[in-house]
């Protein structure tokens, strides 16, 4: 049993974020921005040309989720406690996001999927509501339907 992907990385989150920007740029993103919360990078917003026109996407980098994963792996004895810090979680989360981007571009480059298809869950569908993604809108709808069904 091994630890989470990239858990031993020493590469700074800001360096990896820059690598993500470069990946997006070389694959045709028209506009790219890093999103921040309390001076910490939390994701990437970008615009891609699709068959339906330019579309905005927002890829979150969930450092809190990664930290929980590292803490659990440490508790389970799969990784040492030195890898279960918030700072390490930031480095690892960004490396995983970069790996995910590379994988998406690989299947797009291989013509297995279209660009917008690869990034569909992260399509921004409601800019006026904090930039909700298609996945967030779907999850909210499904939760509301489940709540209705449990009370009906």
Distance CA 152, CA 135 (A): 25
pTM value? Answer: 0.89
Distance, in Å, from the CA atom of 44 to the CA atom of 41, rounded to the nearest integer, reads 8
76-109 pLDDT per residue, tens: 999 999 999 999 999 999 999 999 999 999 999 9
Closest CA to 120 of 55, 61, 45: 55
What is the number of residues in the chain? 152
Average pLDDT in the chain = 91
pLDDT digits (tens, 9 = 90+) for 103-139: 999 999 999 999 999 999 999 997 665 678 999 888 9
- Within 10 Å of residue 114's Cβ, how many Cβ atoms? 13
Nearest in space to 16 (alpha carbons), one of 122, 66, 90: 90
Nearest CA to 113 out of 122, 121, 105 is that of 105
């Amino acid at each position: 049993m091994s630890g989470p992907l990239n858990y031993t990385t020493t590469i700074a989150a800001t360096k990896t974020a820059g690598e993500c920007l470069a990946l997006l740029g070389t694959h045709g993103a028209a506009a790219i921005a890093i999103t921040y919360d309390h001076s910490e990078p939390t994701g990437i917003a970008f615009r891609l040309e699709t068959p339906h026109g330019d579309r905005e996407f927002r890829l979150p980098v969930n450092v809190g989720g990664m930290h929980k994963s590292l803490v659990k792996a440490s508790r389970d004895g799969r990784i040492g406690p030195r890898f279960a810090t918030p700072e390490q979680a930031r480095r690892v989360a960004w490396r995983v996001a970069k790996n995910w981007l590379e994988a998406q571009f690989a299947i797009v480059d291989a013509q297995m999927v279209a660009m917008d298809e690869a990034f569909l869950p992260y399509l921004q569908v409601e800019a006026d509501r904090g930039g909700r993604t298609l996945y967030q809108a779907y999850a909210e709808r499904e939760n509301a339907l489940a709540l209705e069904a449990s009370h009906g």
